Chain A
Amino acid sequence: MKLKEYIAYRLMLSILVIFGVVTIVFFISRVIPSDPAALWVGAHPTVEAIEKAREELHLNEPLIKQYYYYLVGLLHGDLGISIRTHNPVAQDLKSAFSATFELILFAEFIAILIGIPLGVYSAVKKDSWLDNLSRVLAISGVSLPTFWFGIVLQLIFFKYLHLLPLAGRVDTITMLEHPLKVITGFYLFDSLVTGNFVVFVDVLKHMILPAITLAMYPIGLITRQVRSMMIEVLQENYIRTAWAYGLPKKRIYFKYALKNAIAPALITIGLSFAYTLIGAFLVELIFNWPGLGRYAAYSILSMDYPAVLGVTIVAATAYVFINLIVDLIQVCLDPRIQL
């Protein structure tokens, strides 16, 4: 199979997966007893107002017909109107998505930057005290609950050291005094491109704590993966040969060994990317980050089914595409893998 065909095939499969997810979530979210019409109209509605809303939202029609309406809308890029916020879901998701994606990217960046060197070093210095320490770190990263870790960071860096802001994405007053021209919705990027350094520093400061909290899990995962693969690879014959040739250490470790050890780690990184999306649900609540996670949490709590569906579609799409990209990168890195 050629690369193009393979991609087309995978994309087709992805659409099927997303369609399946939409169907399941649609019916589950509608089977739960609740009354979206009552939620739509506000606190103390009259009977007439609820009936009117029920009609407007097509809620008095058979479920299968509502499903049909939803799919037709979806094909036109219309994700419906949020029952809770009365905004088009697509519009809500758009702003939330860039906030979350920026945070996740930053968190993964930290995770890779720490995880890979730590894994390599651990393997090279197997059973040294530093290796033990890194293993403790890795296990803690995977097993410590993010909400606990996030709150501890807030306590240390905000309450006691007064170094970093408590929560939010950017300081309101800073934004007012130095308005940011939003281009991509990624504040770090936008502020850098437009040369708005005051906002850049402010956004960076706001991002550090949530990003580190979010990065803890992938750091643990990557470190462990890289360490175990490196240990295995370092015992291979070709590495011994390389030693015998007297090649420099750096070249052996990073050029010969890491290259072969990194492929499985890449899969881990890809999957942890998807996982951080889930982790963001909690982290965004703790740090009041106006992203997908916070949006999803409040939508679920109020049984706002169009919003829940919207978030599900975005999350499912992200999962599917990250998997696809990881697979493709693997092909590029390791020509032995056949499509």
Chain B
Amino acid sequence: MKKILVGLALSLIIVLGIVASGCISGEKTSTPSSETTEQKKTTNVVIYGYGSEMITLDPSTEFSNSIVTLANVYECLVKYTPQGLKPWLATSWESNEDGTEWTFHLRKGVKFHSGNEMTAADVKWSIERTIRMGQGPAFIWDPIEKIEILDDYTIKFKLKYPANLPLIASSAYGAYIMDSKELSKIGDDNAIADYLNQGHDAGTGPYMIEKYDPKTEVVLKKFDEYWGGWKEDQFDVAIIKIVPDSSLREQMVVSGEIHITRDLPLDDLPKLQKDPNVIVKQTPSYQELYGMLNTKKPPLDNKLVRQALSYAVPYDQIVEYVLHGYGSIAKGPIPKGMLGYFEDMKTYEHNIDKAKELLAEAGYPNGGFKLVLTYTQGDQAEKKVAELLKAEWSKLGIELEIRPMNWEQQWALAKSDPQKAQDILIFYWWPTYPTPYDFLFNMFHCEETINFNLCYYCNPEFDKLIDEAVTFEGTDVEKAKELYKKAEEILVEDAAAIFFYNPDDVYVIHKSIVGFESNPGYPQVVFFYDLHKRS
């Protein structure tokens, strides 16, 4: 018996030994690990904890999360900033009077990661490849008729119609310049796509792809010959670490395992704001939450009912309760900070008496109808908004049925027969590149086949105004603003949608990092080149 006991004790010791070996080796490596921290200091690593997997790495077709990588590896001709367009690979640009011909002067001495010099031929090749492949974001180049190389550093675009080409050239999707000499060697467009998706790159950006594992991490290494030069306190290695679970990311950033992250649970942000280890940075995003109203189906085909609903939204309460203050009430269809946003826009305020009056005028003095609202399943913010609406609208005698649905399902329902579709669909919009036209055209321009105009709104006067406004964006901004404002006023008056709020971009940054600025033109991108170690 004793021997059995000894045997058992031994096996338990072995098991505990395994556990402890981890613990002990943890202690043991504490000396080497201090060495690794030494090494960390010398190798200079910054880690961005990101919630979604990478998709593809082909700059011509990528229309999703991977711009988080691409924007550090490639560069566009122009860089968008909320303060205006800034030179990037182009140093200056000009157009003819009506904005149908644009000439860009390229930066000299820019090297691709292969060592080739970037010239006008690369720009022409990159944009033409994107147009030729016709996938994802290729539509942004729709205005282009012809691209002419004037010399190695000058390139001219002839357009089919006036457009703000510098803004298009700053797009976070589909506007990156690639190394044509290097990529042409690979083969045809699809062969190049395969080559790139394996983790190769052909950009001019400050970082090169060192290791690419779309599901776990992307390791970027600094490109020594970057045209912008390097300072000592910048990072040699930048890692995008995929951590889908938000509470895990939260623990990791607090402990310093990752240095920067976003999309943490909003409920936890106030607590993090008090944490000395991290800095919570909130900046406006170019996102807006809409309640698309079914303007083709009674009772919402009646403008008065739609206006009544717009008045019966507790906007303040929503920003407070849903966003915990990390965002602001929307003023019309365009997010704060963008062209086409007007601080003095007359919008709906929470006024339940006014809503009752309008309902009575529309012939529904005590409400008495039922509406169906759909939102994307799993989105906590949308869910809370829907619940608040239900409570508020019950005061008007309106019964709201809330249906959480998978996005593809709810979208398919909305694209089916409007008479059978939901009355209200809640969803977010953000632009492919920051122009108000992207919002107004996609969601509110007449559509023959319904795609994103999910309120089925069709107003020729509105269409004419925005179609005209967009042609002035590049040449006469004031004129464009004036036209956009008129159009937006019509839209608000018609109450085609409820404009809820603009959520802020909230990044949580470990105290050891400085220099981070979020750029709403490049959603979710951390430009690692801007980051520095805190001295």
Instruction: Name A residues whose Cβ lies closer than 8 Å to a Cβ of B.
Output: 33-36, 38-39, 41-47, 49-50, 52, 84-87, 92, 95-96, 110, 113-114, 117-118, 120-121, 124, 154, 158-159, 163-169, 172-174, 176-177, 198, 201, 204-205, 208, 212, 248-250, 253-254, 285-286, 288, 290, 294-295, 298, 301, 303
- CB pair B215–A33 under 8 Å, yes or no, is no
B409 and A113 contacting across the interface, CB-CB below 8 Å: no
Contact (A176, B248) CB under 8 Å given A35-B412, A38-B408, A303-B406: no
In the bound assembly, the distance between CA atoms of A139 and B368 in angstroms comes to: 55
Interface status of B214 (Cβ within 8 A of chain A): yes
Contact between B63 and A42 (Cβ–Cβ < 8 Å)?
Answer: yes
Instruction: Name the segment of B6-14, B387-395, B507-515 touching the other chain.
Output: B6-14
Per-residue CB contact flags for chain B residues 239-279 toward chain A (1 = under 8 Å, else 0) read: 10101110010011001010000000000000000000000
CA distance A174 to B430 in the complex (A): 38
Q: How far does the Cβ of B348 sit from chain A's closest Cβ, in whole Å? A: 26
CA of A163 to CA of B432, assembled, Å: 45
Set of chain A residues within 8 Å of B241, measured between Cβ atoms: 172
- Tell me the residues in window 4-46 of chain B with beta carbons closer than 8 Å to chain A beta carbons: 4-5, 7-8, 11-12, 14-15, 18-19, 21-23, 25-26, 29, 32, 36, 39-40, 43, 45
Q: How large is the interface on B (under 10, 10 to 19, 20 to 34, 35 or more residues)?
A: 35 or more
User: In the bound complex, what is the Cα–Cα distance between A164 and B406 (angstroms)?
Assistant: 38
Contact A43 B64 (CB under 8 A): yes
CB distance from A247 to the nearest CB of B (A): 12
CB interface residues, B 97-135, toward A, < 8 Å: 134-135
Number of residue pairs A-B, CB distance < 8 angstroms: 161
**Chain B interface residues toward A at CB < 8 A:** 1, 3-5, 7-8, 11-12, 14-15, 18-19, 21-23, 25-26, 29, 32, 36, 39-40, 43, 45, 47, 53, 55-56, 63-64, 134-137, 139, 197, 213-217, 219, 237, 239, 241, 243-245, 248, 251-252, 255, 257, 378, 406, 408-409, 411-412, 429-430, 432, 442, 449, 451-452
The answer to whether A288 touches B248, judged by C-beta atoms less than 8 angstroms apart, is yes
Q: Is the CB of B451 within 8 A of A204?
A: no
- Quote the shortest CB–CB distance from A46 to chain B (angstroms): 6
Chain A to chain B: the 4 pairs with minimum beta-carbon distance, closest first: A42-B63, A34-B408, A290-B216, A35-B408
B136 cross-chain contacts in A, Cβ below 8 A: 41-42, 45, 49
Q: Contacts A85-B215, A164-B22, A208-B18: A46 and B1 contacting too (C-beta < 8 A)?
A: no
Known: A33-B409, A47-B451, A86-B55. A205 touches B3 (CB 8 A): no
Residue pair A174, B36 in contact (C-beta under 8 Å): yes
Q: Which residue of chain A lies nearest to B23 when distances are taken between CB atoms in the complex?
A: A163
Other than the known A174-B36, A253-B4, A290-B216, what 14 A-B pairs have Cβ atoms closer than 8 Å? A42-B55, A43-B63, A45-B451, A46-B451, A113-B15, A117-B11, A117-B12, A121-B4, A166-B252, A168-B243, A198-B32, A204-B22, A288-B244, A301-B378
Asked whether, in the complex, the Cβ of A34 is within 8 Å of the Cβ of B409, the reply is: yes
A205 to B276, CA, bound (A): 28
Q: How far is the CA of A173 from the CA of B40 in the complex (A)?
A: 8
Tell whether, in the assembled complex, residue B411 and residue A35 are in contact, meaning their CB atoms are under 8 Å apart.
Answer: yes
**Are B251 and A44 within 8 A (Cβ)?**
no
Task: Report yes or no: B243 in contact with A288, Cβ–Cβ below 8 A.
Answer: yes
Contact of A34 among B36, B47, B406 (CB under 8 A): B406
The reply to whether B26 and A250 contact each other, CB–CB distance below 8 Å, is: no
Report the separation of the CA atoms of residues A35 and B251 in the bound assembly, to the nearest whole angstrom: 35
What is the CA–CA distance of A151 and B24 in the complex, to the nearest angstrom? 22
* Complex A-B: 14 CB contacts under 8 Å: A33-B408, A35-B408, A43-B64, A47-B449, A85-B55, A110-B18, A120-B8, A172-B217, A173-B39, A177-B43, A212-B19, A288-B243, A288-B244, A290-B213
**Complex alpha-carbon distance, A167 and B252, angstroms:** 9
Min CB gap B221→A, angstroms? 9
Please indicate the chain A residues that have their CB under 8 angstroms from the CB of B432 in the complex. 44
Select one of A38, A39, A166, A249 contacting B255, CB under 8 A. A166
Chain B residues within an 8 Å CB radius of A198? 29, 32
**Cβ of B39: which chain A residues have Cβ within 8 Å of it?**
173, 177
